[in-house]
Amino acid sequence: MSNTSELILLTNPLARREAPWTAAQDAILNDAGFARAKATITAWPGYAPTPLASLGGIAAVSGIGALYYKDEASRFGLGSFKALGGAYAVWRVLCDTAAEKGISPDDREAFTAHARTLTVTCATDGNHGRSVAWGAQTFGCNCVIFIHATVSEGRKREIERYGARIVRSAGNYDDSVHEAQVTADREGWIVVSDTSYEGYTDIPKDVMQGYELMAAEAIGQWPEAGPPTHIFLQTGVGGLAAAVAAQYWRRYGADRPMIVLVDPLQSACWLESIRAGQPTAVKGDLDTLMAGLACGEISALAWEILRHCADAVVGLSDDAAVDGMRMLAEGRHGDAPLVAGESAVAGLMALVAAAADPEARVTLQLDIGSRVLVFGTEGATDPGLYREIVGRSPEAIRERLA
């Protein structure tokens, strides 16, 4: 294990590059499920692949060959990759429950009437709840979103824009997950969560299948002669990381990129799970600036996929995230300016920190031949906080590109 002032790095002793894609993993994420998600989402109004931006300046100062940033700030106008998962899972819920009553989506009148009878709910740090609320508004069902004590008022207002009723819970994210499930059981609502737990796995699979579209887009956009050698992936509960890893694992097998997970130090549930060799919860308020990653318990489904293909995990400080937001906004090192939220830069800054540390470079096999992919998972989803951190509004950053 490497431990510097900037990062903690732990390799995964369970990682096996030769490990095959198993039947158990295929029951979670598979080509047929992805094809269905892709066909559905790409048919929605406003769909367009998000850009894959080259960060050649950062690559040069980091001593690697190439660095690309999948910029999710424009996804469906919601500002994050979560638009691919939550809304798609809402659609699947409506289709599945309608089918139980013999109703087809093609029967628009009956399907619309059915949707009005349903209420979907979830707990969120912000972006997933916005996607679920947008999906509910788009497809015509009711929505109640639970947020925990430290979710900002700005993110609360953004969710409310899509017609959801908000319930603020005491405690941390995991407490709000519990309250959402208990309330849903009592009220007859349907939980549309991006994390899985005992007795609740089917809907998170749909969420993750939606996320896979982002990874598939990146594969299609990749401009280098060979695939990425490394992918740095922020974690949270792990659904995003598992979806991206699954797409590359199924596509490339043993030739897949090295997968490096990235946790905020204040909510390092994947770091502790990799350390223990089994899912391990972390307690406390989990109060990290990287709000979308403030989770104390990993997803069981994500663990099934990542335990053998996540090669390492990094613990990252909030200060590093702040520097990453400012670095992208400034266009530091000659790269085009980008608007990135607090959780968007975790993978990027883990790469920057690891590349600057001699021991970490060796451990992660980072060198001038490395081709690295990171996912900028959100734009300025809380514009007020973004201005406070960066010193300029997201609009001012975008105007520099006009």
- H or E element at residue 113: helix 108-116
Q: Which of 125, 174, 206, 357 is catalytic?
A: 125
Residue 82 catalytic?
Answer: yes
Residue 125 catalytic?
Answer: yes
Here the tokens at position 281 are: 């919860």
Query: CA 322 to CA 88: how far, in whole Å?
Result: 31
150 burial (CB, 10 Å; 0-12 / 13-18 / 19+) is: middle
Query: CA 392 to CA 402: how far, in whole Å?
Result: 16
Angle formed at CA 130 by CA 128 and CA 132, multiple of 5 degrees:
70
> Tokens 């223990």 correspond to what residue?
276
**Helix/strand/coil for 79:** coil
Query: CA 184 to CA 192: how far, in whole Å?
Result: 10
Contact predicate 155/378, CB 8 Å:
no
Q: How far is CA 214 from CA 72, 81, 208, 219, in A?
A: 9, 7, 10, 9
- Tell me the H-state helices in 222-341: 239-252, 269-276, 300-306, 318-330
Q: Which of 70, 82, 156, 205 is catalytic?
A: 82
Provide the annotated active-site residues: 82, 125
